[in-house]
C-alpha cells in the first residue's frame, strides 16, 4: 500500500467571501461552512470562532478534533468512509491533501459531558495540550435534544459529525492545488518484503481502541463500524493515517484519542521512519477495551495469535484510557509475552489526588517495560482567560472528567473570577499515549 499525503501549511485562518487557501492563509466563507454544519437538522445553533496559539482563549467543552483533508484523483468525495457521505471504500492508497497546522474542533455551546475537555491557547495551560500549538477552527454549536444532558451520545454525534463534514469542506479547497511537500507512506505486504528487511527485528503496533460501551454512539469506529462489535483486527498503518478510524466520545478526555490523533499518529510515523533501517514494521493491530473479563481475555488471545502469525519479535501496546481498561492492557501484554513477543506498553496513570492510589488497576510481573505518559489525577490551577469559547460552567456543572461542582478543600473547579482548578483528566487529549505528549520526566 502506498499513500501520499500532500501538505499545505496553514499560517493564518480568517473569514472572507470565498473559502480558499493562498500563501499560507486559509480563508473561510463562514455562511457556506455553517451550511455544511446545519445539514444535520438537530443542530439549532452554530458559529465558527478562530483560536490561535498565544491568544488568551480557553476552549471548553471540546468534544472532537479533526484535521481538514480531502482525497485527490478519487471518485469518492467523502474523506471518512462509512461516516460522512454514503460511500464505503478502502483508504490508505493514492493521494490525500491535508491542511497542516490547524484543526476543526467540535465545541459544545452549552452542555458538556464526561468525555469532553479543555484547551488553553496560552499561558501555563497551553503546555498541557498539543492542540494549543494549532490554529483551531472552533465549531461552537448546540442541538435540539430535549434531554441532552441525559442523551449525550446524541448531542456528541451531531456535533462531532458536523466537525467531520466541516473538515472535509475546508480540505476540498486544496484538492486541485500543488502541495508544498508530499509525505509518502509505502509499506509492502508482509510476505513480499526484501530479505534484508525480513532479517531485521519485526515490530507490530497494537492500538487499544475505545470499545467499552454496548450502546452505540460512544465508541471508536473503523470505517463507520462500532468497534464494540468487533474483535481485534489487523490493519495497514496507512488506513489509520488516512481516515479509517474515528475517535470516540466516552473516555475521560486526557486519555482519549481524537480523530486528529489517528490521522497523525506519531508512533506510526516513527515506526515508518525506522522501517528498513533498524526494524521491520509489520503493521497495526486494533485491540478492544471491553468490560467483561471473558471479553478482555478473548481480545488478548486474538492479539497474541495475530502477532505470532505475523512473525512479530516485538510489540508496542498503546492503551486508551485507564481504570477498567488497565485489565485489557495488562492481559494483552501478558498474552504477547507468553507468545514470545517482547512487548513495551504505553499508558497514563491514575494515582488519585493524594497520590495514594494504585497507578494501574492491573499489573503483572511480565508487564515490566511501560512508558508513562502522565498522571490523570494531577491538579492543575490556571488563571482566568480573556475569552472563553464555549461555556466555562460546563467544567464544574456537567460531570466532565477532571472537574467538579464543589470540594470541601479545593472548592469548585470554576471560581467566580474565571480561574479554574481541575485534574489533568479534563485536559483535552492531554496525555497523548499515541506519541506526542508534551510531558517529560524530571529528576529531583
**pLDDT tens digit sequence for 12-58:** 999 999 999 999 999 999 999 999 999 999 899 999 999 999 999 99
Q: Are 230 and 211 in contact (CB under 8 A)?
A: yes
CA distance 434 to 432: 5
Instruction: Record the cell numbers describing residue 405, joined without a space.
Output: 461542582
- Residue at grid coordinates 526484501: 194
CB count within 10 Å of CB 94 equals: 16
Q: Within the chain, which residues score under 70 in pLDDT?
A: 146-152, 441
CA distance 179 to 192: 31
pLDDT at 4: 98
Instruction: Record the cell numbers describing residue 421, joined without a space.
Output: 482548578
Sheet holding 181-186, edge to edge: 69-72, 94-100, 2-9, 181-186
CA distance 166 to 137: 10
pLDDT at 62: 96
pLDDT by residue (tens digit) across 93-146? 999 999 999 999 999 987 788 889 999 999 999 999 999 999 999 999 998 876
pLDDT at 125: 95
CA distance 112 to 301: 37
CA distance 153 to 147: 11
Say whether 132 sits in a helix, a strand or coil.
helix
CA distance 169 to 175: 10
Q: Are 144 and 45 in contact (CB under 8 A)?
A: no
pLDDT at 149: 55
pLDDT at 91: 96
Sheet holding 221-222, edge to edge: 225-226, 221-222, 245-246
How many residues are given for the chain? Answer: 444
CB count within 10 Å of CB 292 equals: 8
pLDDT at 239: 98
Cα angle 437, 442, 444; round to 5: 160
Nearest C-alpha neighbor of 9 from the set 182, 153, 126, 163? 182
Instruction: Record the cell numbers describing residue 396, joined without a space.
Output: 464544574
Nearest C-alpha neighbor of 112 from the set 134, 140, 84, 132? 140
- Residue at grid coordinates 464505503: 88
Q: Are 271 and 281 in contact (CB under 8 A)?
A: yes
Backbone angles phi, psi at 39, to 5 degrees: -60, -25
pTM for the model: 0.95
- Residue at grid coordinates 502477532: 307
CA distance 36 to 29: 11
**SS3 assignment for 363-393:** CCCCCCCEEEEEECCCEEEECCCCEEEECCC
Nearest C-alpha neighbor of 72 from the set 174, 151, 163, 2? 174
Cα angle 161, 238, 26; round to 5: 50
Amino acid at each position: 500500500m502506498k499513500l501520499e499525503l500532500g501538505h499545505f501549511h496553514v499560517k493564518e485562518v480568517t473569514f472572507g467571501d470565498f473559502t480558499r487557501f493562498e500563501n499560507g492563509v486559509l480563508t473561510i466563507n463562514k455562511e457556506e461552512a455553517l451550511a455544511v454544519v446545519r445539514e444535520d437538522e438537530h443542530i439549532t445553533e452554530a458559529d465558527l470562532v478562530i483560536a490561535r496559539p498565544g491568544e488568551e482563549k480557553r476552549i471548553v467543552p471540546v468534544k472532537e478534533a479533526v484535521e481538514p483533508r480531502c482525497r485527490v484523483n478519487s471518485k469518492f468525495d467523502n474523506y471518512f468512509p462509512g461516516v460522512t457521505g454514503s460511500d464505503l471504500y478502502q483508504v490508505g492508497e493514492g493521494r490525500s491533501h491535508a491542511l497542516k497546522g490547524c484543526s476543526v474542533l467540535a465545541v459544545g455551546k452549552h452542555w458538556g459531558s464526561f468525555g469532553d475537555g479543555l484547551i488553553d491557547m496560552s499561558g501555563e495551560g497551553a503546555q498541557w495540550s498539543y492542540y494549543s500549538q494549532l490554529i483551531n477552527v472552533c465549531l461552537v454549536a448546540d442541538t435540539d435534544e430535549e434531554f441532552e444532558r441525559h442523551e449525550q451520545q446524541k448531542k456528541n454525534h451531531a456535533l462531532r459529525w458536523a466537525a467531520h463534514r466541516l473538515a472535509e469542506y475546508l480540505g476540498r479547497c486544496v484538492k486541485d492545488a500543488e502541495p508544498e511537500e508530499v509525505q509518502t507512506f509505502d509499506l509492502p505486504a508482509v510476505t513480499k518484503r526484501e530479505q534484508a528487511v525480513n532479517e531485521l527485528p519485526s515490530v507490530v503496533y497494537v492500538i487499544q481502541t475505545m470499545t467499552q460501551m454496548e450502546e452505540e454512539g460512544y465508541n471508536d469506529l473503523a470505517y463507520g463500524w462500532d468497534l464494540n462489535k468487533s474483535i481485534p483486527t489487523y490493519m495497514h498503518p496507512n488506513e489509520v493515517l488516512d481516515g479509517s478510524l474515528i475517535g470516540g466520545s466516552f473516555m475521560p478526555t486526557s486519555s482519549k484519542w481524537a480523530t486528529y490523533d489517528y490521522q497523525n499518529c506519531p508512533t506510526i510515523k516513527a515506526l515508518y521512519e525506522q522501517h528498513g533501517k533498524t526494524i521491520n514494521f509489520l503493521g497495526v493491530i486494533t485491540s478492544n477495551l471491553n468490560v467483561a473479563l471473558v471479553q478482555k481475555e478473548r481480545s488478548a488471545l486474538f492479539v497474541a495469535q495475530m502477532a505470532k502469525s505475523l512473525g512479530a519479535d516485538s510489540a508496542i501496546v498503546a492503551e486508551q484510557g485507564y481504570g477498567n481498561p488497565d485489565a485489557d492492557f495488562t492481559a494483552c501484554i501478558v498474552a504477547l509475552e507468553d507468545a514470545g513477543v517482547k512487548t513495551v506498553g504505553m499508558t497514563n496513570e491514575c494515582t488519585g489526588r493524594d497520590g495514594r492510589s494504585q497507578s494501574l488497576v492491573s499489573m503483572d510481573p511480565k508487564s515490566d517495560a511501560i512508558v508513562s505518559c502522565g498522571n490523570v489525577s494531577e491538579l492543575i490551577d490556571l488563571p482566568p482567560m480573556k475569552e472563553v469559547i464555549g461555556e466555562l460552567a460546563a467544567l464544574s456543572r456537567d460531570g466532565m472528567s477532571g472537574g467538579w461542582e464543589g470540594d470541601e478543600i479545593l472548592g469548585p473547579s470554576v471560581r467566580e473570577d474565571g480561574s479554574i482548578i481541575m485534574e489533568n483528566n479534563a485536559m483535552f487529549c492531554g496525555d497523548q499515549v499515541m506519541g506526542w505528549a508534551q510531558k517529560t520526566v524530571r529528576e529531583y
